[in-house]
Amino acid sequence: SAFQNISEALAAVSSDVGSFHVAIVE
């Protein structure tokens, strides 16, 4: 469904942002 696709997209973005944040902190 569209909602599932949006949820997966948001999860991927938040994962990428988390990795980016960790890279900055380290």
The pLDDT, as a whole number, for residue 20 is 75
d(CA 14, CA 17): 5
Alpha carbon of residue 7 to chain centroid: 10
* Alpha carbon distance 1, 21 (integer Å): 30
Token pair 């890279």 in the structure block, residue: 23
| pTM (2 d.p.) | 0.47
Tell me the pLDDT tens digit for each residue of 1-26: 788 899 898 888 887 777 777 777 77
Note the pLDDT of residue 24: 75
Q: What pLDDT shows up at residue 18?
A: 73
pLDDT score at 1? 78
CA distance 2 to 23: 32
Residue 22 has a pLDDT of: 73
